[in-house]
Amino acid sequence: MNAPAPVLSMKNIETFYGPIMAIRGVSIEVPKGQIVTILGANGAGKTTLMKTVSGVMDPEKGQVVLEGQEIQGKDPDHIVRAGVAHVPEGREVFPFLTVHENLMMGAYTRKDRENIADDIDMVFEYFPILKERRDQQAGTMSGGQQQMLAIGRGLMAKPKVMLLDEPSLGLSPLLVQEIFAIIKRLNAEQSVTMMLVEQNANVALKAAHYGYVLEIGRIVMAGEAKQLLASQDIQEFYLGQTGESQRGQKRWKRKKTWR
Amino acid sequence: MPDGAFISDDMPVTLEGCATVGELFLHRCREKGDAVAHRDKDMGIWKSFTWRDYFDNSKLVAQGLMELGVQRGEVVSILSEDRREWLYYDMAVMGIGAIASGVYTTDSAKQLAYLVNDSGSTVLFVENDEQLDKYLEVKDDMPGLRHVIVFDRDGLRDFSEDKVIFYDDLIAKGEAAEKAHPKRFEAELEKAQPEDTITLIYTSGTTGPPKGAMISHRNVMFQLSAGMEVLESFAGDEQLCFLPLCHIYERLITVYVQLGVGSTVNFAESVETVFDNLREVSPHTFACVPRVWEKIYSSVQILRSEATGVGRWSMDQAIAAGIAKVKYKEKGEVVPAGVMARFKMWDALVLRNLRRMLGMDRMRRAGSGAAPVSPELLRWFAAIGVPLLEGYGATETSGVASINTSDDNNIGTVGKPMPHTEIKIADSGEILIKGGNVFKGYWNMPEKTSETIQDGWLYTGDVGRIGNDGALTITGRIKDIIITAGGKNITPAELESRLKFSPYISDAVIIGDKRKYLSCLIMIDQENVEKYAQTKAIPFSDYASLCRAPQIVELIGTEVDAVNKDFAQVEQIKKFRLIDILLTAEDDELTPTMKLKRSFVETKHKPLIDSMYGE
C-alpha cells in the first residue's frame, strides 16, 4: 500500500488458545497517522489479534513490530510503555474510580507529568460530557459515556498506536455516529494512529483509510476502505445488502469470492 | 459373444437379460428390495434408503410427470446438487421415455436459459430457492418451459407462481395417479427401445456453446456389460458420489454402474466435506478427477512435513519400500522376496494406517479420469497401496473408452481399449474410436454430428499414440496444439500435468501459439502455498498479496525449472505469471470439475499473457 511507514506491523502471526489455532498466519500493517480497520464476524479472531498486539496473549509464531522494535511476547505493561494503548471490548473502565481518576490511570506510565493536565483538558474538549462528570464514579455512567472514558483513558497514555476493540458495542446508532465522529477527529486533528476492530463494517469503513477482512483466523481480503465498501462480498456479508432478488426476499447467500 | 470381438450395431447388448436401462432398473430394484441403495447425511447422521425406496419414489415422480403431461421423447432439465432425489428424477424421466438433461449448479442464469432452450426442455427441476432464483431471472427467455418443480421448500413457504410447483405437490399428484392407473410406470419402463435416447449430456464447451450429446440405452448397456468383463465390481460395494451428476463420469458410475452391480451409493455432503465423507464411508471403489487425487497427495505431504523427525523418516522409508515394489510390478517382473518383505513390514507399520486415515483402507479400485494425471502421482498411490488406475473417455463415448485394470496397468498410459471397442490413430494423430459406447450424436446438430462420427468412427479431437503393448497414450487436444513462432509443434498437456504434480501448483495453462517461446499462467494451490509462506515467515494478507510475494514467485519458479529440466530447450517454459484471483467454479475460466479452460484463460488474462511477451 502507498502509505507512510508502518508504526505497527504484524508478520505471520499465529496465536493459539490451547490446541485451537485462533490466528492462522496474519500479516497486517498500520501506517502512521492512519486508521486501519479489521472486520470480521464473531470468532474470526479480531479480539485475539488485538490481545496479541497488546501482549495479553503471546503468539506462537510471527512478529509484532512497533517502530522497528519487536514487541511480541513481552508483558502488557512493557508494551503500554512502548506506546500501545488498548481500549478493550466492553470498555472496562474502573467502576469505583471517578472519571478524573480513570483518566489519571491512563497517564500512569507517562514520564512527562507536567503535560498531563493539558492532555486532560484535550480529552475534555473532545468529550465535554466527561468534564461535566469528572467527579462521578465511572461505573454509574451510561455505556456511551463509559466508552468515551475508555477512549479518553487510552489517549492519556499518548500512544503511538491506539487499539480500539469494538467501540460501537452495545451503543445506540446515534451514539455510534457520535463516537466515530470523534474518532475521526482525533485521527485528523491529533494524528492518532489507530487499529480499529469492528463488527459494524459500515461505520468502520467510513472512518478508516485501509481495511482487512478476517475470517476464521485468516485474512481473506485487504484494501483501501473505499474499495472494500464497493466490494460485492462486503456489501452482502458485512453491510447486509442482499442485492436485487427475483422474489423480494432471499435466504441463500452468494458464494464468497473476496474480490 | 466372443471375447474382445467387435459388436456391430445390430447385435443386442444385454446385462442379466436386460437390454435397456429401464428393464435393468426394474430388475435390480425387484431383486434387491430392502437392501440399501443410497445413503445420505442429514443433520450429521447417515441415513439409509433401500432399493424399494428408489423404485417407489421414482415411480411417484414418474406418475406425477405423466399427470403434468410429459410425453415420451420430451426433455426434462435437472438443476440440482448431487442428492438421492436427482436419481429419482433421472429414473422417472428415463422410465417414462423422456430425456433427462443435467444443468450444473454453478451455471449462471444465462447458461441455464441456453441449456433449457437448446434442449427444448418442457419441465425443469430445481433444487432450492437459490436455483429457483436463476429460473426467475430468465423465465421470460424460456417460453418452452411448462413446469418448474422445486425440491426444497425452505425460504419459499409463501412463494407461489404460475408454472412453479413443489416436490411434495408432484408426489401427491403421483400418488393419486398411482391409485388411478397402477402399474402405468412399469408398463412405460418396458416400452423403451435400446436405441432410445436416455439422457443429454452437455459437453463443457471450452470452444463455442455447449453441445448436448445424446446417450442411448444401448450405449449405457454396452458400457455396463463391457465394464463387467474387466472391472471387478460386487454387489456389496460402497461408492461415494460427489462430482456433478450432470457430467458423464459421475453419472455413469453413480447411476448406471450402481444399477449394473447393485452397489450402495453414498452421497457426500458437499465438495468441501468430501475428504471427511471419504473417511466415514471408506468406499471399495472411488472414481474422481486428478485434482482430487493431487489434493490428497499434497495433504499427506503436508502432514509429513509437520510430523516429528521419526515420523518423517518412517514415512519416507515406507514410501520408498512401496515404490521399490511398484517398479518391479511396472516392468511386469516378479517382486523379489526381500523387496516384498520390506514392503509388507512398512505396510503393517505405516501404510495401513495412512490408508485408513485417508478412508482408503477398503479401496479395491480407484479411478482417475476426465483430465490427464501425472504418472508420478499414480506411482505414489500405488506405493501406498491404493490401486489408482487411469482411464480415458469422453462424453461422446458415454464415459469410458479405454482403461487400465489392476492386472494390466501401464502407468503413463490410459490403458487398453474397453472390451469390444476399437481404437485407432488417424494420420493426423487424432484418436478414433468405434464401439457400442459411441454416442448417437449431438442434439439438433446434424452437421456437428456428421463431422464427429464418420463411417462409425468417432473423431475425438484428442491426439495420442498406441504403444506396442496396445495401451493408449494421450498427448493432448488437437485444438490445443501449440505451434511456436519457430514452427515447433508442442502439445501442452504433458507439461501441464507435470506442473500440476507440484503441491504448490493447482493448475497451469501453457501459452505459446505463434509466439517466440512458451510461457505459462499458473494457479497456485492456496492451502499449500499459504502453509509454505507461514513456515518461511513470508508476510502476506489476502490471496492477491500471496501471489505477489517475491518468495512465492521464486518458489513457483523453482517448480517450473524442475519440470523444464526434463524437456528440450524449445519445449521449456521461459516465463510464467501467477493468476492472483482466487477462481471458483462459477467463474468462466473454470469447468465444473475445476479445470482451467484454455480459451477463457487466454482471453480473460490477456494483459498478464502480454506482459510475458513484452519488450
Q: Is B365 helix (H, G, I), strand (E, B) or coil?
A: strand
With an 8 Å Cβ cutoff, is A30 touching chain B?
A: no
Q: In this predicted structure, which of A62-66, B247-251, B373-377 has the lowest mean pLDDT?
A: B373-377
pLDDT digits (tens, 9 = 90+) for A238-253: 877 766 666 777 777 7
Are both B436 and B459 inside the same structural domain?
yes
Are both B70 and B124 inside the same structural domain?
yes
A203 class by beta-carbon count within 10 Å (0-12 exposed, 13-18 middle, 19+ buried):
buried
Contact A61 B534 (CB under 8 A): yes
Q: In this predicted structure, which of B11-15, B168-172, B379-383 has the lowest mean pLDDT?
A: B11-15
**pLDDT of residue B322 exceeding 90:** yes
* Partner residue opposite A222 with nearest CB, options B154, B155, B541: B541
B70 falls within a domain: yes
With an 8 Å Cβ cutoff, is A177 touching chain B?
A: no
A116 class by beta-carbon count within 10 Å (0-12 exposed, 13-18 middle, 19+ buried):
middle
All three cell numbers of B158, joined, read 409463501
Domain end residue (candidates: B449, B478, B507): B478
pLDDT digits (tens, 9 = 90+) for B133-183: 999 999 999 999 999 999 999 888 888 999 999 999 999 999 999 999 999
Position with higher pLDDT, B5 vs B127: B127
* Partner residue opposite B129 with nearest CB, options A26, A220, A251: A251
B280 falls within a domain: no
With an 8 Å Cβ cutoff, is A205 touching chain B?
A: no
8 A C-beta contact, residue A195 and residue A162: yes
Are both B140 and B163 inside the same structural domain?
yes
Are both B498 and B606 inside the same structural domain?
yes
The residue segments making up the domain with residue B91 are 21-192+243-264
Query: What residue has cell string 499473457?
Result: B609
B97 falls within a domain: yes
Are both B184 and B46 inside the same structural domain?
yes
**pLDDT of residue B1 exceeding 60:** no
User: Rounded to a whole number, what is the distance in Å from the CA of A190 to chain B's nearest CA?
Assistant: 29
* Partner residue opposite B581 with nearest CB, options A24, A251, A259: A259
Note the pLDDT of residue B157.
Answer: 85
With an 8 Å Cβ cutoff, is A26 touching chain B?
A: yes
Domain end residue (candidates: B478, B501, B530): B478
User: Rounded to a whole number, what is the distance in Å from the CA of B156 to chain A's nearest CA?
Assistant: 9
Query: CA-to-CA distance for A142 and B367, rounded, in angstroms?
Result: 66
User: Rounded to a whole number, what is the distance in Å from the CA of B536 to chain A's nearest CA?
Assistant: 9
B551 falls within a domain: yes
**pLDDT of residue B5 exceeding 70:** no
With an 8 Å Cβ cutoff, is A107 touching chain B?
A: no
Note the pLDDT of residue A242.
Answer: 64
* Partner residue opposite B542 with nearest CB, options A221, A251, A255: A221
Average of per-residue pLDDT across B414-427? 94
Are both B472 and B513 inside the same structural domain?
no
Query: CA-to-CA distance for B121 and B382, rounded, in angstroms?
Result: 45
**pLDDT of residue A3 exceeding 60:** no
Contact B155 A252 (CB under 8 A): yes
Query: CA-to-CA distance for B75 and B81, rounded, in angstroms?
Result: 19
With an 8 Å Cβ cutoff, is A81 touching chain B?
A: no
With an 8 Å Cβ cutoff, is A2 touching chain B?
A: no
Q: In 10 A of CB B481, how many CB atoms?
A: 16
Contact B533 A26 (CB under 8 A): no
Which CATH number do you get for residue B46? 3.40.50.12780
Are both B260 and B305 inside the same structural domain?
no
**How many structural domains are present in chain B?**
3
B321 falls within a domain: yes
Note the pLDDT of residue B500.
Answer: 87
Average of per-residue pLDDT across B88-104? 96
Note the pLDDT of residue A1.
Answer: 45
Note the pLDDT of residue B223.
Answer: 94
Query: CA-to-CA distance for A29 and A6, rounded, in angstroms?
Result: 6
Are both B257 and B308 inside the same structural domain?
no
B388 falls within a domain: yes
Estimate the share of chain B in helix, then strand, then coil, as percent rounded to the nearest 5.
Answer: 40, 20, 35
Contact B541 A12 (CB under 8 A): no
Contact B133 A255 (CB under 8 A): no
Contact B136 A251 (CB under 8 A): no
Are both B306 and B453 inside the same structural domain?
yes
**pLDDT of residue B512 exceeding 80:** yes
User: Looking at domain A6-83+159-252, which of 3.10.180.10, 3.90.420.10, 3.40.50.300, 3.40.50.850 is its CATH number?
Assistant: 3.40.50.300
Are both B171 and B139 inside the same structural domain?
yes
Which CATH number do you get for residue B501? 3.30.300.30
Region(s) of chain A under CATH 3.40.50.300: 6-83+159-252
pLDDT bracket for residue B6 (50, 70, 90):
low
Contacts of B586 in chain A (CB under 8 A): 255, 257
Query: CA-to-CA distance for A218 and A216, rounded, in angstroms?
Result: 6
Note the pLDDT of residue B483.
Answer: 86
Note the pLDDT of residue B276.
Answer: 93
| Percent of chain B scoring above 90 in pLDDT | 70
> What is the residue-wise DSSP string for B446-512?
HHHHHHHEETTEEEEEEEEEE-TTS-EEEEEETTT-EE-TT--EE-HHHHHHHHHTSTTEEEEEEE-
* Partner residue opposite B155 with nearest CB, options A12, A222, A251: A251
Note the pLDDT of residue B485.
Answer: 85
Contacts of A257 in chain B (CB under 8 A): 582, 584, 586
User: Rounded to a whole number, what is the distance in Å from the CA of B109 to chain A's nearest CA?
Assistant: 12
- Where on the phi/psi map is residue B327: left (φ > 0), alpha (ψ -120 to 50), or beta? alpha
Domain end residue (candidates: B478, B494, B512): B478
Interface of A with B in 181-200 (CB under 8 A): none
pTM of the model: 0.85
β-pairing, B453-454 vs B457-466, is antiparallel
B269 falls within a domain: no
Report CA-CA distances (Å) from A72 to A63, A79, B83, B116, B318.
6, 9, 50, 59, 41
Interface test with A, best of B164, B528, B542 (most A CBs within 10 A): B542
**pLDDT of residue B597 exceeding 90:** no
Contact B542 A27 (CB under 8 A): no
B163 falls within a domain: yes
Mean pLDDT, chain B, rounded, equals 91
* Partner residue opposite B542 with nearest CB, options A14, A61, A219: A219
Note the pLDDT of residue B2.
Answer: 43
Are both B38 and B186 inside the same structural domain?
yes
**pLDDT of residue B291 exceeding 90:** no
Closest chain A residue to B580, measured at CA: A259
**pLDDT of residue A70 exceeding 70:** yes
Contacts of B534 in chain A (CB under 8 A): 12, 14, 24-25, 61
Closest chain B residue to A62, measured at CA: B537
Query: What residue has cell string 468412427?
Result: B457
pLDDT digits (tens, 9 = 90+) for B456-481: 999 999 999 999 989 999 988 888 88
Contact A246 B159 (CB under 8 A): no
pLDDT digits (tens, 9 = 90+) for B432-449: 999 999 999 999 999 999
Q: What stretches of chain A show up as alpha helix (H) in DSSP? A: 46-54, 76-82, 99-106, 116-126, 128-132, 143-156, 173-190, 201-207, 225-230, 232-237
Are both B429 and B296 inside the same structural domain?
yes
For residue B572, give the DSSP letter.
Answer: S
